[in-house]
Amino acid sequence: MSEHDADQEVLRLQHLKKSYNVGKPTEVEVLHGLDLRLQRRDFAALIGASGSGKSTLLNLIGLLDKPTAGELFLLGEPTQDMDDARRTALRGSAIGFVFQFHHLIQAFSALENVLMPLMVATGKPTQDQLKRGRGLLAEVGLAGLDQRKPDQLSGGQQQRVAVARALITRPALLLADEPTGNLDSKSAAEVFELFRKFNREFGCAVLLVTHDPRLSDQCDRTVTLVDGRIQSDTKKAAAAA
Amino acid sequence: MPMWIEWTIATKFLREGKSQSALILIGIAVGVAVIVFLTALITGLQGNIIERTLGTQAHIKVQPTDEANRILTPTDGSVQLVLENKRAQRLRSINNWQQVRDVLDTLPQVKAVSPVISGPAFARRGEALESVALIGIDAVRYQRIIAIQDDVVAGVFRIGAGDTVIGKQLASDLGIRVGDKLRLDGGQGRESVVNVAGIFELGVRELDARYVYLDMKQTQSLLNLPGAATIIDVTVDDIFDAQAVAARIARLTGLKAESWMETNAQLMNALRSQSLSTQMISVFVALSVALGIASVLSVSVVQRTREIGILRAMGTTRQQMLRVFLVQGALFGLAGSLVGIFAGYGLVGAFNTFGPKLFYIPVSPWLLAAAALLATVTGIVSAAIPARRAAGLDPVEAIRHV
């Protein structure tokens, strides 16, 4: 973590609430006031049963959705009152997403998919950016496969392209939603190792949603969500040290 | 390059959905081809009709204003009852027609100006008597208005010094051949005998039976209007400007100026109706093309919902998403119209080569450019609804979309 201060706050939730069907008889509160802090060094797992509000929380943190009440600070900036354009810009620059299904754009090559967050922000990629994209692909073990289309890659390879794409903007926070749920155990281990590596080398906070205990056990910190409340937030001794 | 990413995503999307893109392109091409062919056909047909009509008449006729009764204004405190009969319009000269002619010569849109003295007379040969219209002209100027010399079927077009040129129908009615004498009677004992130097055939029966061309001097003395011109014929550069130019001439000279559009009101009406029906067909074809584009893009938005969600999660703005689909619509319109223009051009060529050959259809490059532009704009407009839907998608739900 040479370039970044490991203690820098990446994310802070203050009494974050989320309800659906607001104002209708079917109104239901899914998240009941969450408080949470993530620093750059954090490598955390967010676990919880189906329906506990994990995905909802992830969408809020990823600025894909807006909380009903409370405040969400991203890199110290309050986001509740931001307009759509600024949220989109911040989402593009500060957050990397890895979804359960790889979610690559079929019409584009592996390299173009990796560069997509840069291209939508600044247009045609520069030589520098192309080099960075190829470098990232090499780092995730896909050297030489730049020009392959997603359907010419295996499931594990596709997910690694998605990881590279999430990291191309050097985000402060990597959000992963069941990133290994669709992979065999060998590919899953490889992808997990990548997260580890980037957390260590780039100081990119990782928040990993999973209900696989084998995966969460390997994280430094485990946040448990039960019925829309944080039930526990434990750090491993090794990570705390 | 501005909008690089929008272009890139749009073209990749189009290439990915090849068969869909190909089908809608064919649809657009057919529509554009129909519009191009139909418009060219009708324009050609109308041009032909107008050319034939205007081949025998001036674009604008300038005449003296009608004479009106001048009624004494009543004195204060008295009531005046007036029974007015419209005055009969006698043959009159245009005042200072030489100056008027010179003024008209300087007008920018005016191509040719020809003073004419025209009036009724009888043509007599032996016992045969025909009523004719004497047309006294300045031959050089007149031929710039109507290329009468090209329609001479016997003899030569030579007027003046006792020579005349008459219509073919009149010649046959009176049994006249080139070189024969003809007695013209302008009324009140003004007669003269002229030599028929040429016979013309304009193809309009009325003219071929009645027109007798003389020089201005002879006509003036036959009609007892020394030094007069009763009409000034004018042609303009753009025949559809005739109405406006006529109005300008009327304002400028205080004379009555009538354009060919007024004198041929019925023809104009028919042409306008024809144009209107062509435009209606074009509009409906364009409409169905637009609906085709809109429906293809709507399906595409549904098919790509998840990819749109991913792009949004990657930081693509709503405006960018909107433009991605507008660009697709524009590309559909442009590419489809280029194919359609070629097809339409080919159809016109085939018509000119293998058709009935009654007339030739010219295709103006402007029509082709306009068709391409229209199709592109139609593409953008019809992409608006699907594009708005794509831009309005909620990324969270879009990503979950299967």
Q: What is the pLDDT of residue B44?
A: 86
Q: How far is CA B260 from the centre of its chain?
A: 11
Give the whole-angstrom CA distance, residue A227 versus residue A88.
Answer: 29
Contact B166, B213 (CB under 8 A): yes
Tell me what the mean pLDDT of segment B297-311 comes to: 88
Amino acid, res. B381: V
Pairing type for strands B191-200 and B152-155 reads antiparallel
For residue B402, what pLDDT is reported? 65
**Of B254, B281, B298, which residue is a domain's last?**
B254
Q: Which residue's entry shows tokens 């060919």?
A: B260
What pLDDT, on a 0 to 100 scale, did the predictor assign at position B1? 63
For the stretch B269-287, pLDDT in tens is 888 898 899 889 989 998 9
Q: B361 and B321 in one domain?
A: yes
Whether B65 maps to a domain, the answer reads no
pLDDT, tens digit, 9 for 90 and up, residues B308-334:
888 888 888 888 999 999 999 999 999
Sign of the Cα torsion B278, B282, B287, B289 reads positive
The residue segments making up the domain with residue B341 are 4-52+268-400
Q: Which of B140, B152, B273, B294 is nearest to B211 (CA)?
A: B152
In a domain, B31, yes or no: yes
Classify residue B259: in a domain, yes or no: no
CB contact under 8 A, A123 and B5: yes
Domains and CATH numbers, chain A: 9-240 (3.40.50.300)
CA A137, CA B350: separation in Å to the nearest integer? 57
| Same domain flag for B147 and B291 | no
Average pLDDT, chain A: 85
Q: What is the pLDDT of residue A237?
A: 60
CA B134/CA B145 separation, integer angstroms: 17
The minimal CB distance from A92 to the residues B12, B315, B318 is found for B315
**Statement to judge: residues B246 and B104 lie in one domain:** yes
Residue type, position B211, single letter: Y
Instruction: Tell me which chain B residues have a C-beta less than 8 angstroms from the C-beta of A97.
Output: 313-314
Question: Which of A64, A85, A169 minimises the CB distance to B313?
Answer: A64
Neighbours of A128 (CB within 10 A): 8
Domain membership of residue B379 (yes or no) is yes
- CB-CB under 8 Å, B317 with A124: no
Task: List, for residues B115-151, the tens digit of each pLDDT value.
Answer: 999 999 999 988 888 999 999 999 899 988 888 888 8
Chain-centroid distance, C-alpha B134:
30
Nearest-CB residue to A117 (from B9, B314, B317): B314
Grade residue A40 by pLDDT with cuts at 50, 70 and 90: confident
DSSP state of A22: T
> Token digits for B74?
């009543």
Residue at token pair 């967010």:
A46
pLDDT digits (tens, 9 = 90+) for B190-218: 889 999 999 999 888 888 999 999 999 99
From CA B301, how far away is CA B298, in angstroms rounded? 5
The most confident of the ranges A5-19, A47-61, B335-349 is: B335-349
Please indicate, yes or no, if residue B92 is contained in any of the structural domains.
Answer: no
**B306 lies in the same domain as B232:** no
CA distance B335 to chain A (A): 20
Give yes or no: residues B107 and B241 share one domain. yes
Residue B355 located in a structural domain: yes
* Strand A221-226 relative to strand A43-47, pairing: parallel
| Rounded CA separation A127/A144 (Å) | 17
Residue B25: which of B339, B344, B399 has the closest Cα? Answer: B339
Same domain, B396 and B282: yes
Buried b (16+ CB within 10 A) or exposed e, B128-138: eebebbbbbbb
ipTM value > 0.85: no
B163 with B242, same domain? yes
Structure tokens at B309: 């969600």
Burial class of residue B377 in the structure, from the number of CB atoms within 10 Å of its CB (0-12 exposed, 13-18 middle, 19+ buried): middle
- Whether the CB-CB separation of B318 and B10 falls below 8 Å is answered with no
Note the pLDDT tens digit of each residue in A155-207: 888 888 988 898 888 888 999 888 877 778 888 888 888 888 888 888 889 99
Res. B13: pLDDT tops 80 = yes
Write down the pLDDT at residue A198: 87
Q: Would you say residue B60 lies in a domain?
A: no
Same-domain status, B112 and B241: yes
Distance CA A144, CA A126 (A): 19
The greatest distance separating any two alpha carbons of chain A, rounded to the nearest whole angstrom, comes to 56
Number of domains in chain B: 2
Q: How far apart are CA A50 and CA A59, in angstroms?
A: 15
**Which of residues B206, B221, B254 is at a domain's end?**
B254
Which of B20, B304, B314 to mutate against chain A (most A CBs within 10 Å)?
A: B314
Does B250 lie in the same domain as B104? Answer: yes
Q: Do B311 and A120 touch (CB under 8 A)?
A: yes
Give the DSSP letter string of B37-106: HHHHHHHHHHHHHHHHHHTTS-SEEEEPPPP----PPPPTT-------PPPP----PPTTHHHHHHHHHH
Return the SS3 of B148: helix
Domain identity same for B381 and B292: yes
Who has greater pLDDT, A2 or B350? B350
Residue B75 falls inside a structural domain: no
Q: Return mean pLDDT, chain B.
A: 88
Q: Single out the residue in B227, B254, B281 at which a domain terminates.
A: B254
